[in-house]
Amino acid sequence: MAGTRRKRKARTPRNALYAQSGGATAVVNATACGVIEAARAAQGRIGRLYAARDGILGALHEDLIDTSRESAAAVRALRATPGAAFGSCRYKLKGLEADHDKYARLVEVLRAHDIGWFFYNGGNDSADTTLKLSQISARMGYPLAAIGVPKTIDNDLVGTDCCPGFGSAAKYVATSIREAALDVASMASTSTRVFVLEVMGRHAGWLTAACGLAAAHAGDAPHLLLFPELLFDEARFLDRVKRTVERVGYCVIAVSEGLRDAQGAFLAEQGSVDAFGHRQLGGVAPLIAHLVQARLGYKQHWAVADYLQRAARHIASKTDLEQAYALGRAAVRLGLAGRNAVIPVIERVSTRPYRWRIGVARLETVANRERRLPRRFIGADGFNITPACRRYLAPLIEGEAPPPFRDGLPAYVQLRKAPVRRRLRSAFRA
C-alpha cells in the first residue's frame, strides 16, 4: 500500500564455532562450558554455537555439533567431566601456502554456516592454526574473529602465567608420588629400594617440578627430579641414588618423558613422530629403573602416569577449574568486542595471597613458541626445585572441586552431540 512503511527484517545474528585440539585435560570441558554459557548469554548477538566433532578435522569435514541441543544441566556438568567432550585430534595444518586448499576449505565451511566467530581450544600448534585461519579469512574477504583458547597440561604456552589443565595434572602427580613414596618407604628394608615415576613433558619440565611439591621437608620424597632442560649425567645420578638409599633407605625419582642424554638426544625416543611432527616418546622410567638395578643392584619399580595425569578430574585443582572456565567465557567476550587473532591468558596479580586476572595476548606472540622451566626454578645440583619454583607452583594446585559421585564412582556427563545438517556438496579430501 502506498505510503506505508515496510518493516525491515532484523538481521539474523551470525553463528560461532568451537573446537578442541590435542591432548585432553581434566578441565578442558570447563572451558567448553564457559564458551557455551557465554554464547548463550549473548543470545541476539550470537546465533547458534556449533562445535566441531574431533577438533579441526570436524571443521574440515563439515561434521558439526549443535550445542543448542544440549540442556543447561548437561552443559553445567561439563565442568566436572574430563576428556574432550566434543572430540579432539592431533592434526597439524602447515603454512598458508603449503596447505592453502585446507585453509580455503575451512573458510568454505565457515561461510556455509555463517560462522562469525571461531574459538580454538588448544596449545602452541592450535594457536598457530587459529592465527593462520584469521589471515586466510582476511585474504578471502570473509569476516571472522578467530580467537585462541589456551589449554595444555605441559604449562609451556608463553604469554600466560599458567595454562589451564596444568594445575590439575600437577596436583595429581604430586599426590601420586607422595602416596607411592609412603608405600616404598614401608617396604624398603626387604623389598623395593628405588621407585621411578615418569610424567609428561617433552621439552618443558613443569610437571616434573610439580612432583617436587610432594617434598614438604628436607629429605622427603621425591629425592631426585630429572628435568628435560638439563642433560642427563649418568655418573652423578647414580652417585646421588646410592647416597640417598644409604642415608634414608630408599629413593624416589620423578623423570620427564623428554629426558635427554649427554649428546642431547631423547633417552626414550621411539623413532616415530605424531601428527604435529613431535617425536614420539615414552618408556624413560623403565630405562632409568633398570639402569639403577644394573649398576647399583637395588630392587626397583617404575610407573608411567601417562593419560592418568591429564584425565584425573576426581582430584582436580579448584584454582585450575576456575581459570579454565573463566578463560572460556573471556574468549567469547573478546570475540563480541571485535577482537581477532588474540587469546585470553592468566595474569598473576599476587602470589601471597594468590590473585589472578584475565589478560589478552596476540596469537603471533604465542604460536609455535614454548616456555620451558627456567633455570632459577631448578636447584643448583639439578635434582630438585627452588623455593621460587615452589612459590610459583603452590597456588596452582590449591583447592578441591570433586565431581559428583554415583554408586561409588564419578558421574560424568554424556552429551547428545546432535549433528548439524551439512550444506556443502563437496567432501573434504585429505
Write down the mean pLDDT value for the chain.
94
The span from the CA of 268 to the CA of 286, in Å, is 10
Question: Quick one: average pLDDT of 355-372?
Answer: 97
pLDDT at 272: 41
- Cβ proximity of 148 and 342 under 8 Å: yes
Helix, strand, or coil here: 102?
helix
Fold of 15-151+317-369+401-410: Rossmann fold (3.40.50)
Tell the burial category of 45 from Cβ atoms under 10 Å away from its Cβ (0-12, 13-18, 19+).
Answer: middle
**pLDDT tens per residue across span 43-72:** 999 999 999 999 999 999 999 999 999 999
Nearest-CA neighbor of 121 among 332, 371, 317, 306? 332
List, in order, residues 6 or more apart from 217 with CB less than 8 Å away: none
**pLDDT tens per residue across span 220-243:** 999 999 999 999 999 999 999 999
Helix, strand, or coil here: 388?
helix
Task: Check pLDDT > 80 for residue 7.
Answer: no
Residue 337 C-alpha from the chain's centroid: 26
The span from the CA of 299 to the CA of 292, in Å, is 8
Of 54, 125, 128, 154, the catalytic one is 154
Boundaries of every domain in the chain: 15-151+317-369+401-410, 166-314
The span from the CA of 311 to the CA of 179, in Å, is 18
- Cβ proximity of 31 and 164 under 8 Å: yes
The span from the CA of 209 to the CA of 228, in Å, is 11
Task: Check pLDDT > 50 for residue 8.
Answer: no
Is there a common fold for 15-151+317-369+401-410 and 166-314?
yes
Q: H or E stretch including 150?
A: strand 145-150
**pLDDT tens per residue across span 275-296:** 445 455 568 999 999 999 999 9
Cell representation of residue 229: 632442560
Nearest-CA neighbor of 252 among 320, 307, 179? 179
List, in order, residues 6 or more apart from 319 with CB less than 8 Å away: 167, 354, 395, 396, 397, 398, 399
The answer as to CATH 3.40.50.300 being correct for domain 166-314 is no
The CA distances from residue 251 to 207, 357, 425, in Å, are: 19, 40, 62
Query: Is 154 a known active-site residue?
Result: yes
Per DSSP bridges, beta strands 115-122 and 15-20 are: parallel
pLDDT at 282: 64
pTM of the model: 0.94
The span from the CA of 362 to the CA of 148, in Å, is 9
